[in-house]
Amino acid sequence: MTTAPRPDRAEVDPQFCQDPGEATGEIGAPRSAPPGRLDPARCSVQALLRGDSPVATAPPARRWLLVEQPGPWGRDALLESRFDRGVATELAARARELGMRIQMIRRPGERLADSGRRWAVADTTPGRETLHWSTRESDADLLTRPWDGSVGEPTQVPTYLVCTHGAHDACCAVRGRPLARALPAGGVPADVWETSHLGGDRFAANVVVLPWGFVYGQVPEDGAELLAAHAAGQVALPWLRGRAGVAPAAQAAQQHARAELGLLGVHDLPTRRVAVLEAPAGGAERFEVTLAGPAGDVVVTVESRLSTEAHRLTCAAVRPGRWRTWHPLSLRVAAPA
């Protein structure tokens, strides 16, 4: 059983934020250098140098509320922006009640006066992916409008949210802003926005592609390969962190199965079930994941282990932390019943 293939990489000066190409035995270890120079102590530089794998790190949210708000964002982008603060508290409470994730968005380089006061609801649930756009007269409108996708104009044009939230982590701004400016130049249909914190700061530049919810990290250069892949209805496997709303074990299994079987379509390999297996001692966790394949179920066994060392996982971290890495143990294609 082999792990996901990685392109060869030359070892270069860490000032350029490239990672040495040593094998890690993990699913999908980092494969590229994102844009932007940073101090070597920054979390995204250190993650590249260590070879941290971003696989199975997509967030758990399936439903997303996008709120256009240009201008500066503080560490809490909703509460520390020009959005109505009184409304913001109620908006956050409603989102928690409905199990939705709020992302503040703005156009790359946008001025405050350019705002179209747009907002959108995205549902990334496999099989019913939707994204509906609306406009608001005031911020308070968002408290009374339905968030179930019943209002607004639907779109199937891939929407790219690039994390540029520098007040949360400098890596996101330095890595994300050049990418957000470059992405529309890909020559394919794309709706590109800057967005607030997506998680996984050390994997900047981070991007989520809606309505499918595919999350990418360490996206390099101008992102042209990412745009080309989604224009063809495929994922860009080298930078894929996982799919939002999918269990981490299933994200890891999908990543390995895609690499082994060459199934890159955005609708390929949906999760049928995840079973917890008996695992060896030492903090490891083991899972059997069944995916729906074109020629029968694809059954993948993966193991999650705690990292052997602790490191600062964000630039703002006050103490080092450990993280989980994912390792494939087996893959088989079951004969159709």
In tens, the pLDDT along 157-173 reads 999 999 999 999 999 99
Can you read off the two tokens belonging to residue 272?
């049928």
Can you tell me the mean pLDDT for 41-46? 92
Q: Give the model's confidence band at 182: pLDDT under 50 very low, under 70 low, under 90 confident, else very high.
A: very high
Q: Give the model's confidence band at 90: pLDDT under 50 very low, under 70 low, under 90 confident, else very high.
A: very high
ω into 40 cis (within 30 of 0): no
Q: What is the pLDDT of residue 185?
A: 73
Per the model's pLDDT, the better-predicted residue between 261 and 27 turns out to be: 261
Per the model's pLDDT, the better-predicted residue between 213 and 36 turns out to be: 213
Check residue 3 and report its DSSP letter: P
Q: What is the pLDDT of residue 124?
A: 97
Beta-sheet strands, E only, within 3-45? none
Q: Give the model's confidence band at 91: pLDDT under 50 very low, under 70 low, under 90 confident, else very high.
A: very high
Beta-sheet strands, E only, within 118-190? 118-123, 130-135, 153-154, 159-163
Can you read off the two tokens belonging to residue 233?
């209805």
- As a whole number, the mean pLDDT across the chain is 88
Contact 18, 48 (CB under 8 A): yes
Is the model's pLDDT at 72 over the cut of 80? yes
| Strand-pair category, 63-68 with 100-106 | parallel
Check residue 138 and report its DSSP letter: S
Q: What is the pLDDT of residue 116?
A: 83
Q: What distances in angstroms separate CA 176 from CA 34, 89, 181, 182, one per listed residue? A: 9, 27, 9, 10
Per the model's pLDDT, the better-predicted residue between 184 and 292 turns out to be: 292
Distance CA 235, CA 126 (A): 14
Domains of the chain plus CATH, in order, are: 8-245 (3.40.30.10)
Q: What is the pLDDT of residue 15?
A: 34
- Pick from 1, 48, 10: nearest CA to 29: 48
Altogether, the residues listed in the chain come to a count of 337
Is the model's pLDDT at 18 over the cut of 70? no
- Pick from 185, 178, 150, 147: nearest CA to 162: 178
Q: What is the pLDDT of residue 337?
A: 65
Q: What is the pLDDT of residue 9?
A: 33
- Pick from 250, 93, 230: nearest CA to 161: 230
In tens, the pLDDT along 47-60 reads 999 999 999 999 99
Q: What is the pLDDT of residue 114?
A: 64
Q: Give the model's confidence band at 246: pLDDT under 50 very low, under 70 low, under 90 confident, else very high.
A: very high
* Order of strands across the sheet that contains 324-333: 271-277, 285-293, 296-306, 324-333
Can you read off the two tokens belonging to residue 293?
């394949």
Can you tell me the mean pLDDT for 191-207? 96
Beta-sheet strands, E only, within the chain? 63-68, 100-106, 118-123, 130-135, 153-154, 159-163, 191-195, 207-210, 214-216, 240-243, 271-277, 285-293, 296-306, 324-333
Q: What is the pLDDT of residue 113?
A: 55
In tens, the pLDDT along 210-231 reads 999 999 999 998 899 999 999 9
Contact 276, 287 (CB under 8 A): yes
Percent of the chain with pLDDT over 70: 87
- Pick from 90, 102, 101, 159: nearest CA to 131: 159
Contact 163, 14 (CB under 8 A): no
Q: What is the pLDDT of residue 19?
A: 30
Can you tell me the mean pLDDT for 108-117? 72
Is the model's pLDDT at 28 over the cut of 70? no
